[in-house]
């Protein structure tokens, strides 16, 4: 199973605004919950997200525990050239995940 | 008479036993750690204010330009769809630099920060957040000219996030 999904149109016209949807599979444990024995469950979340378009950063986000499990993001960018759109999620306990999708711009 | 006394004894025994169980429960809960709800102190309005000031660095925040799209009534606070839209032409000289989202009654005031630029084309971001209580959610955006604008939305939450035990 893919641990991350990036959804965007496979092709676009130059100058068109495209929507990018990115979803990562992650518990996003808040660090505020306890087990039934009272022990705090340590925080384990994705803390940052960066999206690059042919290596240039176009969008980034910082997450706090108030982001729901399996963090979902939808944002937009202007299709400028053919290439790859890559997303990188990093988080607690050395979590790191990268996924990229190709786009062709006419 | 005899049967009556027997019945009474049975009743007394039952009450004693029940009392014992009740006392046992009381002792148990006294010995058990405080419930998660009490431990996870909810962010106060002041904490939210401080978190916002950290972002704005003392600059004034104007009302307007920012629109939050949140359901008015939320069944489950564990995943609440949130969209933030800012009125901006998103040109290289006039664009939204960042959007920050805050809550008032979650354990932490910060929710997320988004950084975008003129390449976004449209100042709009969507995600899913957790809400611990019925409260006001506020978004502050920073424009390229350095000014800050804010918008809020009120949400009623029936099942809260984060505070349940496993």
ipTM of the complex, rounded to two decimals: 0.93
Inter-chain CB proximity B120 and A63 less than 8 Å: no
Question: Quick check: B27 contacting A, CB < 8 Å?
Answer: no
The burial class, CB within 10 Å (0-12 / 13-18 / 19+), for B13 is: exposed
Residue B158: which region, alpha, beta or left (left: phi > 0; alpha: psi -120 to 50)?
Answer: alpha
Whether the Cβ atoms of residue A11 and residue A106 lie closer than 8 Å to each other: yes
- % of chain A surpassing 70 pLDDT: 98
Residue A63 to residues A86, B113, B164, Cα–Cα distance (Å): 18, 7, 21
For residue B96, the model assigns a pLDDT of 97
Q: Among residues 61-90 of chain A, which lie with CB inside 8 Å of chain B?
A: 61-69, 71-78, 80
Question: Model confidence at B161, in pLDDT bands (50, 70, 90)?
Answer: confident
Closest CA relative to residue A18, chosen from A77, A62, A65, A73: A77
β-bridge mates for residue A104, sequence order: A11
Give the whole-angstrom CA distance, residue B104 versus residue B45.
6
Beta carbons within 10 angstroms of residue A24's beta carbon: 22
The whole-model pTM stands at 0.81
Taking CB atoms and an 8 Å cut-off, how many pairs form between chains A and B? 117
- Residues in chain B closer than 8 A to A75 (CB atoms): 114, 116, 120, 124-126
Q: How far A24 CA sits from the closest chain B CA (Å)?
A: 12
> Where do the structural domains in chain A lie, given as residue ranges?
4-105
Q: Do A66 and B108 touch (CB under 8 A)?
A: yes
pLDDT digits (tens, 9 = 90+) for A43-78: 999 999 999 999 999 999 999 999 999 999 999 999
Q: What distance in Å separates the CA atoms of residue A42 and residue A91, rounded to the nearest whole number?
A: 13
Is A4-105 a domain of CATH 2.60.40.10?
A: yes
Q: Do A72 and B32 touch (CB under 8 A)?
A: no
pLDDT tens for B99-143 read 999 999 999 999 999 999 999 999 999 999 999 999 999 999 999
The reply to whether residue B162 touches residue A30, judged by beta carbons under 8 angstroms, is: yes
Strand partners, B76: B159
């Amino acid at each position: 199973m893919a641990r991350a999904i990036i959804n965007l149109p496979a092709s676009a016209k130059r100058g068109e605004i495209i929507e990018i949807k990115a979803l990562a599979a992650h518990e996003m444990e808040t660090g505020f919950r306890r087990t039934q024995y009272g022990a705090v469950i340590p925080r384990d979340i994705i803390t940052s997200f960066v999206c690059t378009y042919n290596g240039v950063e176009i969008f980034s986000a910082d997450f706090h525990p108030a982001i729901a499990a399996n963090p979902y993001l939808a944002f937009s960018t202007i299709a400028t050239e053919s290439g790859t759109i890559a997303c990188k999620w990093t988080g607690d306990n050395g979590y790191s995940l990268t996924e990229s999708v190709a786009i062709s711009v006419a | 008479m005899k049967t009556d006394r027997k019945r009474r004894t049975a009743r007394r025994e039952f009450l004693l036993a029940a009392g014992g169980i009740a006392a046992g429960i009381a002792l148990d809960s006294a010995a058990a750690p405080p419930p998660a709800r009490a431990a996870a102190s909810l962010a106060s309005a002041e904490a939210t204010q401080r978190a916002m000031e950290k972002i704005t660095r003392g600059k004034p925040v104007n009302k307007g330009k920012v629109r939050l799209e949140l359901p008015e009534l939320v069944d489950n606070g564990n995943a609440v769809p949130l969209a933030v839209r800012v009125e901006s032409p998103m040109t290289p000289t006039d664009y939204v630099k960042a959007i920050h989202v805050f809550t008032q009654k979650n354990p932490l005031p910060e929710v997320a920060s988004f950084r975008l630029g003129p390449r976004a084309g449209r100042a709009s971001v969507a995600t899913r957040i957790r809400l611990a209580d019925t409260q006001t959610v506020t978004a502050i955006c920073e424009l390229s000219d350095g000014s800050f604008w804010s918008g809020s939305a009120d949400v009623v939450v029936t099942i809260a996030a984060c505070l349940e035990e496993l």
